């Protein structure tokens, strides 16, 4: 099973994680009974009893109705308590508001998203910080799960602003932003806005590196799609260098081979591996060709940056590109001493490229 999938389990709601798991279930050539057993472990964190029953049968595991009966009783009690105060929620006590919130949460866990959403909208205006954040997370997750991505985008932006202004600890803000980084991919899956995802990842790249290093693949992907050489070389490469002991895949290895080791042939070899990884990836499968083209153009553009006045047609031909592809990735002029890192790397790159060109002759 694709190892990156597992890393999402601790960073997104289980209902969202099921979407990723079911993608693997549908596309990977794996033992169905073993996959069902793993899926059952995920479902055990929810109250999606219909799915639990079906999956238990597929996994050939005995399943009883005891949990469902206990949950139904709990849900009925929560509903009765909620019905008493929902019409005058603005006058309700903190304890009464909490009972309404718990009812909405139980409905969500049971997969009754529309009913949960209706209640969460009603109570979100009167909830306090922690409950308010939880309510907004519920609304965001429901919008994603029900494919209402216009509402999800608005709720995502609201939640980001709320995390900034709410009186919660800095460590809690870090956790919340880390979760947002992971959920951002679900919005990208629908809209394919590399620009938006790139901007968000770039804004919180320190959070990404600290809490969700598995997202580095997607940061590289959108940077490639955006054709941003300076971020790949100046921001992403240092993360790869410092975090390679924690995370590696063909995307990080491609950047490392090209921009650190200056090994063009090895970098080219990683492109096909990136394509294979995209085929399996829930978020990248539909943009595989664009990523592959962008990766090839990055190699050509690096050549163009370093050897402006040299004939690099042998290498362009070898990579199956055209001269027009060479300028795809733009490199901004150096502005201050902080950019000397890029300048020094380009000098190293020029030396390595000269050696490589000689090997082609």
Q: What is the pLDDT of residue 334?
A: 38
Q: What is the pLDDT of residue 354?
A: 53
- List the end-to-end C-alpha distance of the chain, in Å, as a whole number: 43
Dihedral through CA 344, CA 348, CA 349, CA 353, nearest 10?
Answer: 150
CA dist., res. 300 & res. 124, Å (int): 52
Greater model confidence, 264 or 180: 180
Strongest mean pLDDT among 222-236, 325-339, 344-358: 222-236
Tokens of 27: 């596309």
Instruction: Specify whether the CB–CB gap between 243 and 216 falls below 8 A.
Output: yes
Instruction: Specify whether the CB–CB gap between 182 and 11 falls below 8 A.
Output: yes
Reported residue count of the chain is 361
Q: What is the pLDDT of residue 10?
A: 85
Tokens of 316: 């362009």
CA dist., res. 129 & res. 165, Å (int): 10
Confidence band, pLDDT 50/70/90 cuts, at residue 361: very low
Handedness of CA 165, 236, 316, 281 (dihedral sign): negative
Inform me whether the pLDDT recorded for 174 exceeds 60. yes
Confidence band, pLDDT 50/70/90 cuts, at residue 311: low
Q: What is the pLDDT of residue 308?
A: 59
Strongest mean pLDDT among 150-154, 219-223, 346-350: 219-223
Mean pLDDT across 41-53: 92
Mean residue pLDDT across the chain = 84
Q: What is the pLDDT of residue 6?
A: 80
The structure tokens 């997607």 sit at: 218
Inform me whether the pLDDT recorded for 339 exceeds 50. no
Q: What is the pLDDT of residue 103?
A: 95
Hey, where are the domains in the chain?
Answer: 196-361
Q: Indicate the pTM of the whole model.
A: 0.85
Task: For residue 190, give the nearest of 118, 288, 280, 287 by alpha carbon.
Answer: 287
pLDDT in tens, 85-126: 888 888 888 888 899 999 999 999 999 999 999 999 988 888
Which residues partner with 228 through β-bridges? 330
Tokens of 181: 């980084």
Tokens of 243: 């975090």
Instruction: Specify whether the CB–CB gap between 225 and 291 falls below 8 A.
Output: yes
Dmax over CA atoms of the chain, in Å, equals 83
Inform me whether the pLDDT recorded for 310 exceeds 80. no
Inform me whether the pLDDT recorded for 324 exceeds 80. no
Q: Phi/psi at 132 (nearest 5 deg)?
A: -65, -45
The structure tokens 């139980």 sit at: 106
Helix segments in the chain, DSSP class H: 3-8, 14-27, 32-43, 49-59, 66-85, 94-109, 113-123, 129-145, 149-165, 170-191, 194-203, 205-211, 216-226, 229-231, 237-243, 250-259, 264-280, 288-306, 313-318, 340-360
Inform me whether the pLDDT recorded for 346 exceeds 60. no
Confidence band, pLDDT 50/70/90 cuts, at residue 31: confident
Mean pLDDT across 166-193: 88
**56-65, 211-220, 246-255, 272-281: segment of lowest average pLDDT:** 56-65
Q: What is the pLDDT of residue 338?
A: 42
Q: What is the pLDDT of residue 166?
A: 84
**152-156, 165-169, 245-249: segment of lowest average pLDDT:** 165-169
Q: What is the pLDDT of residue 278?
A: 94
CA dist., res. 287 & res. 224, Å (int): 11
Q: What is the pLDDT of residue 76?
A: 96
Q: What is the pLDDT of residue 315?
A: 58
- Other C-beta atoms within 10 Å of 185: how many? 21
CA dist., res. 256 & res. 208, Å (int): 18
């Amino acid at each position: 099973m694709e190892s990156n999938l597992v890393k999402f389990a601790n960073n997104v709601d289980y209902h969202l994680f099921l979407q990723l798991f079911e993608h693997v279930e549908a596309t990977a050539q794996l033992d169905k009974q073993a996959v069902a057993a793993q899926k059952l472990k995920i479902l055990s964190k929810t109250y999606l009893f219909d799915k639990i029953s079906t999956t238990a049968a597929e996994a050939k595991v005995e399943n009883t109705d005891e949990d469902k009966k206990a949950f139904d009783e709990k849900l009925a009690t929560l509903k009765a308590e909620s019905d008493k105060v929902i019409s005058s929620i603005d006058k309700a006590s903190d304890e009464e508001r909490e009972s309404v919130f718990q009812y909405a949460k139980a409905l969500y866990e049971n997969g009754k998203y529309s009913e949960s959403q209706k209640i969460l909208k009603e109570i979100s205006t009167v909830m306090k910080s922690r409950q308010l954040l939880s309510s907004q997370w519920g609304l965001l997750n429901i919008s994603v799960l029900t494919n209402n991505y216009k509402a999800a985008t608005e709720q995502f932006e609201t939640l980001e602003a709320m995390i900034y202004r709410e009186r919660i600890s800095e460590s809690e803000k870090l956790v919340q932003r880390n979760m947002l980084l992971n959920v951002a991919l679900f919005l990208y899956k629908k809209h394919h806005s590399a620009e938006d995802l790139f901007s968000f990842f770039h804004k919180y790249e320190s959070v990404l590196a600290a809490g969700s290093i598995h997202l580095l693949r997607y940061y590289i992907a959108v940077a490639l799609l955006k054709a941003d050489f300076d971020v790949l070389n100046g921001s992403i490469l240092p993360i790869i260098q410092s975090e390679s002991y924690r995370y590696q895949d063909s995307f990080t290895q491609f950047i490392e081979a090209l921009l650190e080791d200056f090994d063009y042939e090895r970098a080219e070899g990683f492109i096909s591996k990136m394509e294979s990884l995209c085929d399996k990836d829930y978020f990248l499968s539909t943009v595989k060709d664009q990523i592959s083209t962008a990766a090839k153009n990055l190699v050509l553009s690096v050549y163009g940056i370093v050897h402006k006045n040299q004939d690099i047609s042998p290498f362009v031909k070898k990579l199956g590109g055209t001269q027009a592809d060479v300028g795809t990735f733009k490199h901004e002029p150096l502005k201050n001493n902080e950019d000397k890192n890029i300048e020094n790397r380009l000098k190293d790159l020029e030396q390595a490229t000269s050696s490589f060109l000689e090997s082609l002759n």
